[in-house]
């Protein structure tokens, strides 16, 4: 960390952030503050270069045209790539997985070069995946089922440098027939789960925070309301 305040980058909320994905940054800030850390959200918009100095970054989902604007900006200002290379955790939701990959095809079949941070490619599938998704995590440090809401047409294929975040037990996930959901590569974690994902999956929030702080474990935060919401979602 640069100083005692943990700085959370909310990347391009002006174009990427469907279904309240900006809430992921709020969850990170709140879980830090409840543990006594100072934390702030730094919004990086299309008017700003992308800084490489923040402690953790989150990116939300987007429609095709907004996704394209975000891709252009992140390629032009490579602060996110530099921060990830230094180990800063990056959470990428839905369209952000596609943007951070090598390339993606839009729903009209146009191929757009991505940022190239993760070894994935995305192409539209015949049917749109819409609905609740539940998965079993494959990433060490995560034990609880992950839940979220997915809405995407793109199907994402993982290359050899990327691994799946989780195995789908309900819903579609990456949507290319391998049964996987999300992606992990280096300090980047991607998922198709909206919700916002970190409100629904506090264990994932704390894994990202522990990495941002460079600690092994964080003190637990017993929040019965969050657990109740999770139980309801998993039962539904
Ligand atoms: N436009 C992308 C798709 O449909 C991503 C959508 C989203 O982020 N919800 O695959």
Q: Identify the residue whose C-alpha is closest to ligand 1 atom 3.
A: 152
Place of tokens 């809401």: 149
> Which of 15, 108, 154 best tests ligand 1's pocket when mutated (most atoms within 8 Å of CB)?
154
Handedness of CA 165, 168, 171, 177 (dihedral sign): positive
Run of H or E including 104: strand 103-105
How high is the pLDDT of residue 3? 63
How high is the pLDDT of residue 236? 77
Smallest CA-to-CA distance from 109 within 127, 129, 125, 130 is with 125
| CB contact at 8 A, 27 and 199 | yes
How high is the pLDDT of residue 233? 83
How high is the pLDDT of residue 1? 47
> Which atom number of ligand 1 is nearest to the Cα of residue 151?
9
Residues linked to residue 57 through DSSP beta bridges, in sequence order: 9, 90
pLDDT along the chain (236 residues), means of 10: 83 94 97 97 98 98 95 98 98 98 94 98 96 97 96 97 98 98 98 95 97 94 89 84
| CB contact at 8 A, 209 and 28 | yes
The model carries a pTM of 0.96
Q: What ipTM was assigned to the predicted interfaces of this complex?
A: 0.92
> Which of 68, 111, 151, 171 best tests ligand 1's pocket when mutated (most atoms within 8 Å of CB)?
151
> Which atom number of ligand 1 is nearest to the Cα of residue 62?
8
Residue 230, marked binder: no
Helix axes 23-34, 202-213, angle to 10 degrees: 70
| DSSP characters over 127-161 | EEEEEEEEEEE-STT--SPEEEEEEEEEEEEE-TT
Ligand 1 centroid to residue 54 C-alpha, Å: 26
Q: Quote the CA–CA distance of 124 and 64 in Å, as a whole number.
A: 11
Q: Which residue numbers are catalytic?
A: 94, 194
Smallest CA-to-CA distance from 63 within 158, 151, 182 is with 151
């Amino acid at each position: 960390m640069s100083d005692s305040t943990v700085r959370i980058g909310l990347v391009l909320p002006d174009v990427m952030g469907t279904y309240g994905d900006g809430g992921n940054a709020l969850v990170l800030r709140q879980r830090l503050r409840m543990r006594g850390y100072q934390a702030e959200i730094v919004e990086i918009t299309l008017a700003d270069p992308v800084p490489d100095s923040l402690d953790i970054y989150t990116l939300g989902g987007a429609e095709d045209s907004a996704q394209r604007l975000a891709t252009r900006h992140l390629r032009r200002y490579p602060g996110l790539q530099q921060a990830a290379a230094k180990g800063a955790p990056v959470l990428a939701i839905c369209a952000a997985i596609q943007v951070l990959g090598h390339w993606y095809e839009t729903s009209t079949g146009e191929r757009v070069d991505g940022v190239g941070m993760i070894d994935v490619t995305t192409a539209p599938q015949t049917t749109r995946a819409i609905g609740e998704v539940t998965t079993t995590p494959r990433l060490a440090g995560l034990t609880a089922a992950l839940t979220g809401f997915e809405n995407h047409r793109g199907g994402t294929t993982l290359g050899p440098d990327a691994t799946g975040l989780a195995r789908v037990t309900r819903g579609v996930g990456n949507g290319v027939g391998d049964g996987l959901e999300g992606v992990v590569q280096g300090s980047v974690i991607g998922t198709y789960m909206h919700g916002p994902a970190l409100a629904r999956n506090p264990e994932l929030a704390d894994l990202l925070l522990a990495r941002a702080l460079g600690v092994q474990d964080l003190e637990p935060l017993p929040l019965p309301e969050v657990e109740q919401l999770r139980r309801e979602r998993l039962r539904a």
